[in-house]
Structure 1
Amino acid sequence: MPPPNPEYLQQEESLTPESRELITTLPRQNGWFDSTHLYLYQGFWFQPDHLQAVISCQSHFQPLHSDVFLATYPKCGTTWLKAIIFTILNRKHFPPSSPNHPLLTANPHQLVLSLEIDLYAHNRLPTASTTSSPSRRFFSTHMPHASLPQPLSQRNKVVYACRSPKDTFVSLWHFMNKLRPQGAPERDMETAFRMFCDGAVGYGPFWDHVLGYWRRSLEEPERVLFVRYEDVKEEGAVQVRRMAEFLECGFSAEEEEEGVVDRILELSSFESMRGSEVNRVGRLGNGIENKHFFREGVVGDWKNCLSAQMAQELDGIVEEKFGGAGLVI
């Protein structure tokens, strides 16, 4: 028997009456699949169940001052950065060289829960202790900065990871087609590409999502750290130290001498996580197979998928959207 459709693909029928009433007032368009819709809220497009969760999170979530957050646009290294930061924060309790480290037996998405996908989905309200971290609480989110709960946006530390839009799109296209509803055809790349360029995808527009966090990182560098996926690939040790310093848990001289940074990178590497049994055969609570989060993980994979015309169009949008902001990705 084939596995059930992932939970998060359920649509309007799962919403509360209040949310159903709200979405009737919002601009709507077709989603990635013909049976789904997206709604425009606070300048960004959301699936209806994600939108309900975002609104609930905005109303109810009360962060602790010590809480840490990873924010990303989907498919910008979320899984990898969750693993790295979880290991940085919890290295006293779980040394990266430990044969029983949580990353060896659990997917990063099980260790670091998403505010709107895991905690507030389907009108659930989490308890204050909802976290798998024994040290500081650590959560993730795909919410744009403008949609973050106000207490979080004003006082907590946020690491924001961005990625080349060309690689982001290709990764998103592969991922979403793996999660398509039973019997639904794959979304062709040409149509998906047009949706991405127009900003008409979940949590899009990509450009506005990235710029919101980029500008806040310039205004409040002590609160928002902007990290490029490509930089972590090229100079992993430098970026791990940078994140640790930002999170006020830098590495001691003794840790440096013991090679803790290199061990963190090795444990959280794409190859290590893809090879673990839990990520080869496991499944998240919402039905998504763990293996779907580990496809290629390389920089420049877009060259194997996009036409020259597509690449040129995306480059033009990048120059138009980011040039004036001083952002190069």
Structure 2
Amino acid sequence: MPIFRNVVSFQKHFVAKETDIYIASIPKTGSTWLKSLLYSIVNRSNQAISESPLLTHHPQQLVYSLETDIYSEAFDYPRPHHLDELVSPRLLSTHVPYTSLPESIKTSDCRILYICRNPFDTLVSSYHFHIAYIKNFINKEDLVIPSFEDTFEDFCEGIILFGPFFEHVLGYWKMSLEQPDKVLFLKYEDLKEDPAYHLKRVADFIGMSFSPQEESEGVIKQIVDLCSIKTMKELDVNKNGVINKFFEKKSYFRKGEIGDWTNHFTPSMVERMTKLMEEKLEGTGLSFKLLA
């Protein structure tokens, strides 16, 4: 698959900078939302919220993915000819597991924001995203829609893009405990519950804290409102067109709910996923909220 070639190129050639800020995640866990939040935090001093590029650009076009944008031949919107053309701090993203990151990222003083989501909703979101891709970009005569049951089985067996869910999450979780100044671990469910609080956490972590004046002027609320899935879904720029020739822009904004898995999982699936989650997370100190 082309994505694996992209990852190998990323691993071989990428050189991190001390000022870099990375968003890391397994796919479909809230990284698009976090991209919009991070971009807004970093650029708030030189761009009024009412004039934010997020109003005219998809978040994926403002925070580049290393393996699907920078090191991909499929990239189809303007990008720097070289990473050094990006202003500091460079805002970049990856779905690569921590153990597979280039050594320069691991050893530099860069910052990593890791966002995860409970495995139930992650699976459902991934399934719908995949179906949207298949229906729009696979030749009709080759069209085969995978069942949710088969997708569930693959997920439980760890047969998913960028590696098994729990190993991916726990790799970054461990590093967030060992190097809290380098890796900030975020949960999608926590962001949904109190976005303003976690927006401040992110700002503090990257060294761009909100001032008392900004807080009193409502800057945090403005960013939260701008980046909400409700706002993002309604923007024309996110309704039409594709990202990198393959992914519809609107497919990045589906429901954004906690607990949508209850509309898809059978009782036996719930039992199996719950058992798997308990086994994988036992003794790690990590847990997930499954319902709103």
TM-score scaled by length of structure 2? 0.92
Distance change in 2, residues 1:190/1:313 (3 Å):
same
- The 1-side partners of 2:121 and 2:191 are apart by 15
Moved runs in structure 1, 4+ residues, more than 2 A? Answer: 122-126, 128-131
1:101 CA displacement: 1.1
Q: Equivalent residue of 1:179, what SS?
A: helix
1:287 CA displacement: 3.2
Matched, 1:58 2:19: no
1:123 CA displacement: 10
- The 2-side partners of 1:219 and 1:86 are apart by 26
Match of 1:315 among 259, 262, 274: 274
Counterpart contact for 2:69–2:244, Cα < 8 Å = no
Matched, 1:157 2:111: yes
What's the counterpart of residue 7 of structure 1? none
What's the counterpart of residue 139 of structure 1? 92
Matched, 1:93 2:46: yes
What's the counterpart of residue 195 of structure 1? 154
What's the counterpart of residue 110 of structure 1? 61
Counterpart contact for 1:54–1:147, Cα < 8 Å = no
What's the counterpart of residue 29 of structure 2? 76
User: What's the CA shift string for 1:51-78, capped at 9, x where partnerless?
Assistant: 1111111111112211100001000001
Counterpart contact for 2:74–2:244, Cα < 8 Å = no
Counterpart contact for 1:266–1:272, Cα < 8 Å = yes
Say how many residue pairs are matched: 278
What's the counterpart of residue 254 of structure 2? 295
Greater shift after overlay, 57-66 or 75-84?
57-66
Match of 2:205 among 246, 257, 262: 246
Match of 1:282 among 229, 238, 241: 241
Amino acid at match of 1:67: D
What's the counterpart of residue 169 of structure 1? 123
Q: Equivalent residue of 1:139, what SS?
A: strand
Q: Which runs of 5+ in 2 are unaligned?
A: none
- The 1-side partners of 2:85 and 2:260 are apart by 36
Amino acid at match of 1:104: L
- The 2-side partners of 1:324 and 1:176 are apart by 33
Matched, 1:205 2:164: yes
- CA root-mean-square deviation: 1.6
- The 2-side partners of 1:88 and 1:107 are apart by 16
What's the counterpart of residue 22 of structure 1? none
Counterpart contact for 1:120–1:126, Cα < 8 Å = no
Amino acid at match of 2:191: V
Match of 2:82 among 107, 110, 127: 127
- The 2-side partners of 1:54 and 1:229 are apart by 25
Counterpart contact for 2:133–2:246, Cα < 8 Å = no
- The 2-side partners of 1:270 and 1:315 are apart by 28
User: What's the CA shift string for 1:258-315, capped at 9, x where partnerless?
Assistant: 0111111000000000000011113223232111111101111101111121112111
TM-score scaled by length of structure 1? 0.82
User: What's the CA shift string for 1:183-228, capped at 9, x where partnerless?
Assistant: 2121101111000000001112001000000000000000000000
Q: Equivalent residue of 2:185, what SS?
A: strand
1:95 CA displacement: 2.5
Counterpart contact for 1:67–1:138, Cα < 8 Å = yes
